[in-house]
Amino acid sequence: MMKKYLTLLTILVFTSAVNIFAQDLDEILDNYFEVVGQEKMLEFNTIILQGKAVQMGMEFPMTLTQKRPDKARMEAEIQGAKIIQAYNGVTGWSIIPMTGSMEPQDMGEQEVKGMKQMGDMDGDLYNWKEKGFDLTLVGEDDMEGTAVFKLKLVKPDGDEFIYFMDAENFVVLRVDTKIMMQGAQIESSSSFSNFKPVSGVIMAHSIEQKMNGQVMMQMVIDNVEINSEVSDSIFEKPTSN
C-alpha cells in the first residue's frame, strides 16, 4: 500500500512539474509577443526592408519585400549585377547573373524552404502548434553576460532551431540552426541587435549570420516601409521571352 501511495505521489509531482514548466513557456511567449508588438504585426500586410549587406569583403545594397501570406522577394546588386530571389507562397525562383544566365531558374527544395521561412512575417514562434512545430523551454543560460531563455523548436522535417531570448527584455538575440542539406547537417547562427520600434513593432536593424563559427554575412537595415502597395506579380516567375 505504501509503495502504491509513493508511486501516486511521484506521478502527481512529475505532472505538476510538467504543467509548471509548460506554463513558464507560455508566459515567456506571452511576454515576448507583447514586447515585440505581435498584435500590431498582424495588421501589417506588407513590409519592405532596405539596407546593405557585407559578404566576403564586399558591401552591396539589398531589399527584402514581404507580403502576406508567406510571399518574399530578395534583391541585391553586386558589382552591377542584380540578383533576385522570390517565393510566391508555393514555388520559388531566382535570377543569378553570376551563373552566366539572366533567365529565371526554379529553386530547389532547400532554397524554397528558406524563402518560405523568410516570407513568414510573424516568425516560427507565433502559432507554433498550428504550424505543426514542437517547442520546448530548454532552460536559462548566460550569453556574453546577458541572462537568456533557451527555447528549442523542431519542425516536422527535423530542422532544429535554438532561440536565445533576453530574459529581461524579451527579444530574440540569437538563433542557432541545424538543418539537413543534401544528406549533411549544416549548422548556422543568426545574431540580432540594434532593436528599434517601427509602427508599434520592435525590429532588429542589425543581423549577423555565421556558418560553422565563421561570419558569412552582416546586414544593416536603413529603412522600413509598412503596408506599402506591393503587387503579387513581383513574386511570380517571369515568363521567358
Higher model confidence: residue 18 or residue 125? Answer: 125
Q: What is the pLDDT of residue 80?
A: 85
Q: What pTM, to 2 d.p., does this model score? A: 0.86
Residue 17: pLDDT band with limits 50, 70, 90: very low
What percentage of the chain carries pLDDT values higher than 70?
90
Q: What is the pLDDT of residue 119?
A: 94
Alpha carbons 67 and 46: distance in angstroms, whole number? 4
Q: What is the pLDDT of residue 132?
A: 96
Q: Is the bond preceding 69 in cis, omega lying within 30 degrees of 0?
A: yes
Residue 144 phi, psi dihedral angles, 5° rounding: 55, 45
Residue 58: pLDDT band with limits 50, 70, 90: confident
Q: What is the pLDDT of residue 241?
A: 55
Q: What is the pLDDT of residue 240?
A: 65
Q: What is the pLDDT of residue 172?
A: 98
Q: Which three cell numbers stand for residue 197?
A: 520600434
Residue 21, pLDDT above cutoff 50:
no
Q: What is the pLDDT of residue 186?
A: 86
Q: What is the pLDDT of residue 57?
A: 83
Q: What is the mean pLDDT of the chain?
A: 89
The residues, ordered by sequence, that sit 6+ positions from 97 with a Cβ below 8 Å of its Cβ are 81, 82, 83
Q: Where are the domains of the chain?
A: 2-55+121-226
Residue 23: pLDDT band with limits 50, 70, 90: very low
Query: What is the length of the chain?
Result: 241
Q: Is residue 74 within 8 Å of 118, Cβ to Cβ?
A: yes
Alpha carbons 57 and 55: distance in angstroms, whole number? 5
Residue 59, pLDDT above cutoff 50:
yes
The sign of the CA dihedral 199, 210, 70, 133 is negative
> Average of pLDDT values for 67-87?
94
Q: 66-75, 85-94, 127-136, 206-215 — which is least confidently predicted?
A: 206-215
Q: What is the pLDDT of residue 142?
A: 94
> Would you tell me how many other CB atoms lie within 10 Å of the CB of residue 42?
13
